[in-house]
Amino acid sequence: MRLLRCLTISGSAAVLAGAVTFSGVTATTVAAPARPSHVPSARFLFEARTALAHYLRHYHPQAMLAHTGRARAIRNVTPVPSFNWSGYASTSSTHQAFTKVSGNWTTPSVTCSAEDQITSNWVGLDGFTSSTAEQLGTVSWCFQGKPIYFTWFAMFPHGVTGVGQSLAPGDKIAASVTRSGTTYTLKLTDSTHPANSFTRTATCALATCLDTSAEWISERSSLAIGTMPQAHYNAFKLTSGSQANGGHTGPIGAGPGVKAITMVDGTNTYNLNTVSALTGGNSFSTTWKNSY
């Protein structure tokens, strides 16, 4: 995420219903499905999300870039090391360059220890060099040794809002952010458990949300006290990655200023994951190496 500046919980009833709304955003409430067997109790979910909101209250919204490092050299792509992001970004110096970003992936499972850890997978606009974020995706989060999963979105100036609590490893996700003028449409479809799907609309002034980057990212959260450990995920493979800029739509590799981002440890000594080259210009994978 420009991840998770603050997880918004509009009361336990809203959380348990599988949809949350906040002021200024049009939301469509969906009925809660039968709870899958992997989902912890309602009490545990509430405690976990409350803890996550506390941890992420001082979340740093931007990518934390390292000036030099161990980013993989990929032909025709600029390698960039980062302390909290991995994946791909397309960047431009022109304001309002991007009007859409999209991608598909399968929700990765995480292997948990007693340590709280997190990994978030998302697509979005802004956040690479700007402080705003228009993003959505999935979170795999280890809390007290147990994995929980949910869908979420973030629309500046609000923090992150959790939506679907029946998300499970293996769920098929399609996500997109589309801008028309100052109006943003954030759409996520979970074709495996449709109750996690949502569409939200919101507005942001052109002078505020600059739309100078599009991203396809696997992330660990960076907070006021440091960066959270990256949860040990089985795999993150993004497919059908697409962006629209300057009136033209194309794959990740056709965008301007394409960058391959490798997550590195806090000392910039070793990689926390690896990032593959683009396949067909629109697909790649990241592989977990270390937590921190």
Q: What is the predicted pLDDT for the residue at 57?
A: 66
Rounded to the nearest 5°, which phi and psi values hold at 287? Answer: -125, 130
Q: What is the predicted pLDDT for the residue at 93?
A: 94
**Domains recognised in the chain with CATH numbers:** 7-20+36-288 (2.60.120.700)
- For residues 243 and 101, is the Cβ–Cβ distance under 8 A? yes
pTM above 0.75, yes or no: yes
d(CA 81, CA 72): 8
Share of the chain above pLDDT 90, in %: 60
d(CA 239, CA 103): 6
Using DSSP bridges, classify how beta strands 98-106 and 236-245 pair: parallel, antiparallel or unpaired. Answer: antiparallel
d(CA 118, CA 274): 17
d(CA 112, CA 233): 9
State the pLDDT confidence band at 11, using cuts at 50, 70 and 90.
very low
Q: Could you read off the pLDDT of 71-116 as tens digits, one per residue?
A: 666 777 899 999 999 999 999 999 999 999 999 999 999 999 999 8
> What b/e readout covers 62-87, taking b as 16+ CB neighbours within 10 angstroms?
bbebbeebbbeebeebeebbbbbbbb
pLDDT, average across residues 42-59: 76
Q: Could you read off the pLDDT of 109-154 as tens digits, one per residue?
A: 999 999 989 999 999 999 998 889 999 999 998 999 999 898 999 8
Tell whether the model's pLDDT for residue 8 goes beyond 80.
Answer: no
Q: Could you read off the pLDDT of 216-268 as tens digits, one per residue?
A: 999 998 776 778 899 999 989 999 999 999 989 999 999 999 999 999 998 88
State the pLDDT confidence band at 282, using cuts at 50, 70 and 90.
very high
pLDDT, average across residues 65-75: 67
